[in-house]
């Protein structure tokens, strides 16, 4: 039996905790695969609808944009409404979008399906990081490691599945797997502890302003639009004035005044842009440079995802035992090394490139688990939902912005400028330069984090004080 106190803190047995972690991993698998399955199908979608890379990127960018806003919104809602109720609603909406996508006959219909999916699917990663902090605080480091390992493995399983289904049938059939997420509802209804509704309000106008700002920024990047830039700047200015007069704004300014919290979120933002950049570029590069089909692209990514899953699981234990900083430091070293290796060895046989991807892929779960654990230490317990929500918002926004930027560069198709002196031929300079830029972003992230947090690190055990 569970014991519930006035502040909704629920004490769970070991069996209940194991079931809850299993449930988190199952529903996360559906969501993550939904994203990475379509990564490898992007060349096929572009071919079917005759789209440029900057246009087809909205299959991912639009999805991630709505996901980003939803992640923070659901994080805020989780501080008010029961997690069980939010997840049930989200999964039903997620499957509804998938049903529409299954029958999509044109690009606007496909985008609509993806946006509806995102509206519902945003509940899953948002709440997957809140559940351990709320119901398993003593084990949250290990659970974050398991969650991040699941994300990494599912991100690799997605391309394989996408390759099999898309290669044998049609990319539209990928939506069937997302519809299967409905079968998780009876388990989450049974295994997630009951909670009562708490006091609180949701700043809908503020959420709309942030959504407009992010959409304007992405439109400015992808279409080089001055109108998009104007929308972005205007929405930000209006939101700043809105925050000053709203008692519970969509983004809590008091949290942003905490320089350690802001630094951790921004470090995660940069780290996620590194990983999303790699995952977005590789399928397009593999098709252009190696002529790989959808299935082969999935096989190229899978070793990295499998290695990341194994490393991520152990990373959770290291976070719990050693603290977040050393794990985060190792993660960025792997990200820097991996992107440099990819930049250098593009053009060599695919199996060698897969080993380079493996190095960078393993950084992803370590960045996620260490920063998530750190953030739960930096925010008050009653603001865990919105604190993790901001973490998710910035991560998904990072993915959307990085995909949009890299998509715009990929439109160039051919570049004569060689930034990496070890690049093999002029045909791959564009991709080599992009991965060199990714390594610089990763280096900047860990330097930024180290400088800001150097006074909070104990020299004896590297744990945060």
pLDDT in tens, 146-190: 887 787 778 777 777 777 777 677 778 888 888 888 888 888 888
Residues 225 and 363 in one domain: no
Quote the CA–CA distance of 336 and 439 in Å, as a whole number. Answer: 5
Q: Does 55 reside within a domain? A: yes
Structural domain including 171 reads 11-202+250-456
Q: Does 101 reside within a domain? A: yes
Residues 406 and 355 in one domain: yes
Residues 312 and 366 in one domain: yes
Out of 43-52, 98-107, 190-199, 255-264, give the one with best mean pLDDT.
Answer: 98-107
Q: Does 91 reside within a domain? A: yes
pLDDT of 6 > 50? The answer is: no
Is the dihedral angle over the CA atoms 214, 219, 225, 231 positive or is it negative? negative
Phi and psi at residue 4, to the nearest 5°: -115, 135
Residues 432 and 321 in one domain: yes
CA torsion, points 227, 232, 234, 238, in degrees to nearest 10?
Answer: 150
* Burial class of residue 422, CB neighbours in 10 A (0-12, 13-18, 19+): exposed
Q: How many residues does the chain have?
A: 465
- How many structural domains does the chain have? 2
Residues 121 and 37 in one domain: yes
Residues 436 and 329 in one domain: yes
Q: What's the average model confidence in pLDDT over 1-25?
A: 66
Instruction: Output the CA angle 316-322-326, nearest 5 degrees.
Output: 85
Least confident window among 63-67, 98-102, 221-225: 221-225
Q: What's the average model confidence in pLDDT over 254-258?
A: 76
- Domain endpoint, select from 249, 264, 279: 249
Out of 73-77, 98-102, 191-195, 277-281, give the one with best mean pLDDT.
Answer: 98-102
pLDDT for 20 equals: 83
Residues 107 and 165 in one domain: yes
53 — pLDDT class (breaks 50, 70, 90): low
7 — pLDDT class (breaks 50, 70, 90): very low
- The proportion of the chain whose per-residue pLDDT surpasses 70, expressed as a percent, equals 91
Residue 224, Ramachandran bin (φ over 0: left; ψ between -120 and 50: alpha; else beta): left
Residues 116 and 261 in one domain: yes
pLDDT of 458 > 50? The answer is: no
Give the mean pLDDT of the chain: 80
pLDDT for 99 equals: 92
Residues 348 and 424 sit within 8 Å (Cβ to Cβ)? yes
Quote the CA–CA distance of 101 and 92 in Å, as a whole number. Answer: 14
Q: Does 445 reside within a domain? A: yes
Could you tell me which residue, 170 or 415, shows the higher pLDDT? 170
Token code pair at residue 152: 């990494």
Residues 284 and 42 sit within 8 Å (Cβ to Cβ)? yes
Quote the CA–CA distance of 367 and 275 in Å, as a whole number. Answer: 10
pLDDT for 333 equals: 92
Instruction: Output the CA angle 248-253-255, nearest 5 degrees.
Output: 105
pLDDT for 222 equals: 62
CATH (domain of 315): 1.20.1250.20
Give the HSE-up count for residue 96: Cα atoms under 13 Å, Cβ half-sphere: 12
Residues 334 and 350 in one domain: yes
- Domain endpoint, select from 192, 214, 249: 249
**What tens digit of pLDDT does each residue of 190-201 get?**
888 888 877 767
Residues 189 and 220 in one domain: no
pLDDT of 422 > 70? The answer is: yes
Least confident window among 55-69, 219-233, 290-304, 335-349: 55-69
Quote the CA–CA distance of 109 and 176 in Å, as a whole number. Answer: 16
pLDDT for 230 equals: 93
3-state helix, strand, coil in the chain (%, to 5): 80, 0, 15
Quote the CA–CA distance of 463 and 340 in Å, as a whole number. Answer: 29
Q: Which helix (H) or strand (E) holds 4?
A: strand 3-4
Q: What is the DSSP letter of 193?
A: P
Residue 323, Ramachandran bin (φ over 0: left; ψ between -120 and 50: alpha; else beta): left
């Amino acid at each position: 039996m569970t014991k519930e106190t006035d502040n909704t803190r629920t004490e769970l047995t070991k069996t209940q905790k194991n079931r809850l972690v299993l449930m988190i991993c199952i529903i996360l698998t559906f969501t993550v695969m939904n994203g990475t399955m379509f990564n490898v199908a992007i060349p096929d979608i572009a071919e079917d609808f005759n789209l440029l890379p900057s246009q087809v990127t909205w299959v991912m960018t639009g999805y991630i944009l709505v996901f980003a806003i939803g992640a923070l919104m659901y994080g805020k809602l989780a501080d008010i409404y029961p997690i069980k109720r939010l997840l049930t609603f989200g999964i039903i909406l997620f499957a509804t979008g998938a049903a529409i996508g299954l029958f999509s006959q044109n690009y606007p219909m496909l985008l609509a399906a993806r946006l509806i999916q995102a509206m519902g699917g945003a509940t899953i990663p948002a709440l997957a990081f809140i559940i351990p902090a709320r119901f398993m605080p003593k084990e949250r480091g290990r659970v974050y490691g398991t969650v991040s390992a699941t994300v990494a493995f599912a991100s690799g399983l997605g391309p394989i599945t996408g390759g099999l289904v898309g290669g044998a049938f049609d990319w539209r059939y990928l939506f069937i797997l997302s519809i299967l997420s409905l079968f998780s509802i009876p388990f989450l209804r049974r295994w997630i502890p009951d909670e009562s509704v708490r006091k609180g309000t949701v700043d809908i106008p503020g959420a709309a302003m942030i959504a407009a700002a992010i959409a304007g920024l992405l439109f400015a990047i992808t279409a080089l639009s001055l109108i998009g830039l104007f929308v972005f700047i205007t929405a930000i200015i209006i939101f700043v004035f809105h925050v000053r007069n709203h008692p519970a704004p969509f983004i809590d300014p008091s949290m942003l005044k905490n320089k350690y919290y802001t630094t951790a979120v921004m470090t995660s933002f940069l780290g996620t842009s590194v990983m999303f950049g790699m995952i977005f570029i590789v399928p397009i590069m593999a098709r252009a440079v190696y002529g790989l089909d959808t299935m082969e692209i999935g096989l190229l990514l899978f070793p990295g995802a499998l290695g990341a899953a194994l490393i991520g699981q152990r990373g959770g234990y290291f976070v719990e035992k050693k603290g977040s900083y050393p794990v985060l430091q190792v993660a960025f070293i792997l990200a820097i090394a991996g992107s440099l290796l990819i930049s250098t060895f593009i053009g060599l046989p695919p199996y060698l490139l897969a080993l380079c991807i493996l190095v960078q892929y393993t950084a992803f779960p370590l960045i996620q688990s260490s920063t998530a654990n750190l953030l739960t230490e930096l925010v008050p317990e009653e603001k865990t939902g919105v604190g993790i929500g901001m973490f998710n918002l910035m991560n998904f926004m990072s993915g959307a912005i990085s995909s949009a930027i890299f998509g715009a560069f990929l439109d160039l198709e051919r570049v004569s400028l060689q930034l990496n002196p070890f690049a093999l031929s002029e045909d791959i300079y564009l991709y080599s330069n992009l991965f060199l830029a990714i390594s610089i972003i990763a280096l900047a992230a860990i330097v930024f984090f180290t400088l800001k947090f150097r006074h909070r690190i104990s020299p004896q055990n590297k744990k945060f004080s």
